[in-house]
Structure 1
Amino acid sequence: MDTTSRHYLPVTVVAVGSLTVVTSEMAPVGLLPQMAAGLHVNTGTAGLAMTAPGLVAAATALLFALRGGRADRRTLLLASSGTLAVANLAAALAPAFPVLLAARLLTGLAIGVFWSVAAGLGPRLVPAPAVGRATTLILGGVQVANVAGVPATALIGRAAGWRAAFLVLAVAALAIGAAIALLVPRLPAPSAADSTRIGAVLGGPAGRAVRWALAAQFLAVLGHFAAYTYVTPALRDLAGVAAGTVGVLLALYGAAGLIGNFVGVPLVSRSGRSWTTGALVLVTALAPLTLPLLAHGTGSGTAMLLLWGLGYGAAPALLLLDIFRAAPQATETAGALGTFAFNLAIALGAAAGGAVVDAASVPVTLVAGGAVLIVAALLSVRARALAGRRAPETVIARQEPEKEPVTGSRQPA
């Protein structure tokens, strides 16, 4: 096996792990009515199965950033896979909604641990020049989950029931755990050079770029989910898209997201210009801002949605790379903070969007989400300017965490 394959095989395993984790998190999206009927609760109550894991994942990531500990990071990935398998099995067997909710809280714990480790693994698994590509691949699992994973669980749910979907996810989590044990190298806890905790990462003049980058990520995700949560009624009621066509358009949105992630991120991340990430976030903002005004049919609605998918498909990876760029000596802590901000923003974004819909309307929610994305774009430009104009691999190459490389010998990262 050549050097490139040895590096990218564990990256691929972690990427498939991210696909499994995100599919498990988002599975209720396609199963909610069945779950509500089967557990004898209303749909609103069943929706807690979606919001609860995000809040627990955010809290877990924050705790990890505070007390990361000395555990081998591969061991933590194995623990998260095992926990996810147990959580999905418990969800499949849940006799009542409180048991299901407990299982989903356990899912949140697994999500928080997995992403706190996985988000910052690129610099530890591949050479410095390939960090951007590795991070893109790992985060690509999120996009694949939206395009294929969640629809697949919905299909299983319709064919064999929602419990069968969670059983399949439990088996998938076990398979990922086995792949991690066999194909991912040992990843000892970072040495003192990279074990910087939150206070040092966020504090002082050097922490300004980190704070701006985290704020940009938080607001970008918040604005996106505040608007995107209500994209179905927007397409149906504003653009006049037929109900049967909405699912097709959402699949096209996911496909555009894949293009944004796997094509847009490598192109933009190689640029040293401070405005590039902000420009992609701004592209994301254009869709919810203009959809209420310009989408007056299936064609224009499709165009807006494709633009949205292309922009947001690239934004999460680029925003995370900006956080790494701002904290090159503490990528694991920075990644855990990014995981905290990301999951908190998902939960708060959906809730904020719902509050605006109740108080005003769907078009107002879309415009509000787009406005928040514009602020995020400006913050991103500021963060890049503070961190410097170097490409991410340039600054990440300066870190010196203790690790065991794929070849099995001990050497500096």
Structure 2
Amino acid sequence: MTSADSRSASIHENRTTPRQWLAVGVVTLATFIVVTSEMLPVGVLTPMADGLGISAGAAGTSLTVTGLASAVTAPVAPRFLGDLDRRTVLAAAMLVLALGNVLTMIAGGFGVLVVSRVVLGIGMGVVWGLASAVAIRLVAPRDAALAVSFAVSGVASASVLGVPLGTFVGNAFGWRVAFGSLAALALAVAFAMLFGLPKLRRPAGDGASHAISASRPLLRPAVVTGLVVVVLLVTAHFAAYTYVRPVLESRTDLSADAIALLLLLYGVFGLAGNFVAGAAAGRRPRHTVLLLAAGITVAIAILAGFGGVLAAVAAIALWGVACGGLSVGAQLWMRAAAPDRVEQITGLYVGVFTGSIALGAACGGFVVEAAGVLPMLWVAAALAGASLLVGLLRPGPTRDPVGPDAR
């Protein structure tokens, strides 16, 4: 047995060592940086648009560009990785992400901005697409669901901490410095991955023969059900959440500072929901996701049907918990539905998720322009409710997502 094989075999021991948890922490930091890089234009939109000499709307399309590039990259990347060391792949993806942030930092117009965000989306798609698949291999089997929760928590914490901190840096030193800082952090994480993660080849199940692959298609019924639920639910969420500020302004008498605090509350509850849902979905992924779908449906309906501060606070808190748990819950659903195709199903899931983000923002904007924010909320609530019905009526996963077969 080679030293690499021995090192990889030690991962399957019953106890997760501090070094292995540190490796999971590096993966978590990577997801934090990629999502902060994606979302930072939200916090520095006005100075960024002024600096590039473009409209705020044109600058805002940078998020759509990044999401679409990531949506294309995440599903196809695992097919081309072969037996490449996933540690090296993740480090290289972080270097690509750093390059995307550098190009954004030096952009002088809309053309370079688009190129920079495409590059960033490619790096993001690879990192996010592999993060949970790698995290679950870094720990003992009993800690697999918690490792996925930690890895995905970087996504939630980017909204709570990453974007506000990036906005602070942009306000203090300029928006270009904010993107430069993210590039430097991405470089640091790339080196941390090379020295902090073990060698990780392709999972055994993902290397199945063509005959096995033909008899066990990736798009099996439980996978299709999960993907439809994700499309409907993520589209509903981002259709509404993209316009949450004007919604709160029209439904309450809260000041801009009070709304900012309310959105911070959303983020805090989202982080809590991430870990609670991760623990629950480790045993019952389908039930957990459907409960989250019900929570998002009710939260949006409360905002649409009731005005006032108390209703807004209740809706935002419930929305935060439910949406914060969605990513980890849906990932564990996917892993339970296709435990023999770990990387492929994770990449497909991330691609569908990020594509649905762009779809939701576009649908929300269309309805707002055509009918206003209140009809948009009801449309979003209807989509979320439809996701719940699909999940109830169609086949779901039956395997334990963190059992031996899922590894």
Residue 347 of structure 1 corresponds to: 358
Residue 398 of structure 1 corresponds to: 405
For residues 215 and 127 of structure 2, the distance between their equivalents in structure 1, rounded to whole angstroms, comes to 22
Residue 9 of structure 2 corresponds to: none
Query: Is 1:298 the equivalent of 2:306?
Result: no
Q: Is the 8 A contact 2:286 2:333 kept in 1?
A: no
TM-superposed deviation, 1:365? 1.0
Residue 407 of structure 1 corresponds to: none
TM-superposed deviation, 1:101? 1.7
Residue 81 of structure 1 corresponds to: 94
For residues 155 and 386 of structure 1, the distance between their equivalents in structure 2, rounded to whole angstroms, comes to 43
**Letter of the 1:373 counterpart:** A
For residues 228 and 347 of structure 2, the distance between their equivalents in structure 1, rounded to whole angstroms, comes to 14
**Letter of the 1:184 counterpart:** L
Residue 229 of structure 2 corresponds to: 216
TM-superposed deviation, 1:140? 0.3
Out of 131, 135, 155, the residue aligned to residue 148 of structure 2 is 135
**Letter of the 1:269 counterpart:** A
Query: Is 1:179 the equivalent of 2:189?
Result: no
For residues 324 and 351 of structure 1, the distance between their equivalents in structure 2, rounded to whole angstroms, comes to 29
**Per-residue Cα deviation, 1:112-131 (whole angstroms, up to 9, x for no partner):** 11122113223311222211
Residue 402 of structure 1 corresponds to: none
Q: Is the 8 A contact 1:201 1:334 kept in 2?
A: no
Query: Is 1:282 the equivalent of 2:305?
Result: no
TM-superposed deviation, 1:68? 3.9
Structure 1 residues 351 and 287: CA distance shift in structure 2, 3 A: same
**Per-residue Cα deviation, 1:334-356 (whole angstroms, up to 9, x for no partner):** 00100110110001110011011
For residues 209 and 297 of structure 2, the distance between their equivalents in structure 1, rounded to whole angstroms, comes to 34
Out of 120, 123, 141, the residue aligned to residue 110 of structure 1 is 123
Structure 1 residues 201 and 144: CA distance shift in structure 2, 3 A: farther
Residue 69 of structure 2 corresponds to: 56
Unpaired runs of 5+ residues, structure 2, are 1-14
TM-superposed deviation, 1:66? 4.2
The number of residues matched between the two structures is: 392
Query: Is 1:5 the equivalent of 2:18?
Result: yes
**Letter of the 2:298 counterpart:** L
**Per-residue Cα deviation, 1:186-217 (whole angstroms, up to 9, x for no partner):** 111233654579x9489769811111111112
The equivalences for 1:188-227 within 5 A come to 188-191=201-204, 194=207, 200=213, 207-227=220-240
**Letter of the 2:339 counterpart:** P
Out of 335, 355, 360, the residue aligned to residue 324 of structure 1 is 335
Query: Is 1:250 the equivalent of 2:278?
Result: no
TM-superposed deviation, 1:333? 0.6
Q: Is the 8 A contact 1:195 1:333 kept in 2?
A: no
**Letter of the 1:218 counterpart:** V
Query: Is 1:33 the equivalent of 2:33?
Result: no
TM-superposed deviation, 1:378? 2.9
Q: Is the 8 A contact 2:262 2:313 kept in 1?
A: yes
For residues 271 and 132 of structure 2, the distance between their equivalents in structure 1, rounded to whole angstroms, comes to 18
**Letter of the 1:98 counterpart:** G
Q: Is the 8 A contact 1:234 1:362 kept in 2?
A: yes
**Per-residue Cα deviation, 1:163-187 (whole angstroms, up to 9, x for no partner):** 0100110111011111101101111
For residues 209 and 367 of structure 2, the distance between their equivalents in structure 1, rounded to whole angstroms, comes to 39
For residues 139 and 6 of structure 1, the distance between their equivalents in structure 2, rounded to whole angstroms, comes to 19
Query: Is 1:364 the equivalent of 2:375?
Result: yes
What RMSD, in angstroms, separates the aligned Cα atoms of the two structures? 2.1
Structure 1 residues 321 and 205: CA distance shift in structure 2, 3 A: closer
TM-superposed deviation, 1:372? 1.2
Structure 1 residues 201 and 132: CA distance shift in structure 2, 3 A: farther
| Sequence identity (%) | 35
TM-superposed deviation, 1:363? 1.1
Unpaired runs of 5+ residues, structure 1, are 400-412
For residues 209 and 227 of structure 2, the distance between their equivalents in structure 1, rounded to whole angstroms, comes to 17
TM-superposed deviation, 1:240? 2.6
**Per-residue Cα deviation, 1:3-57 (whole angstroms, up to 9, x for no partner):** 4313211111100110011100100010111111111111111112111010000
Using structure 1 for the length normalisation, give the TM-score. Answer: 0.90
Using structure 2 for the length normalisation, give the TM-score. Answer: 0.91
For residues 174 and 215 of structure 2, the distance between their equivalents in structure 1, rounded to whole angstroms, comes to 47
Helix, strand or coil at the partner of 2:84 = coil
Structure 1 residues 157 and 329: CA distance shift in structure 2, 3 A: same
Residue 236 of structure 1 corresponds to: 249
Q: Is the 8 A contact 2:21 2:139 kept in 1?
A: yes
For residues 316 and 209 of structure 2, the distance between their equivalents in structure 1, rounded to whole angstroms, comes to 41
**Letter of the 2:310 counterpart:** G
The equivalences for 1:379-390 within 5 A come to 379-382=390-393, 386-388=396-398, 390=399
For residues 11 and 382 of structure 1, the distance between their equivalents in structure 2, rounded to whole angstroms, comes to 36
Residue 43 of structure 1 corresponds to: 56
Q: Is the 8 A contact 2:206 2:344 kept in 1?
A: no
**Per-residue Cα deviation, 1:265-317 (whole angstroms, up to 9, x for no partner):** 31x224448533201221111111121211x2223211211110011111111
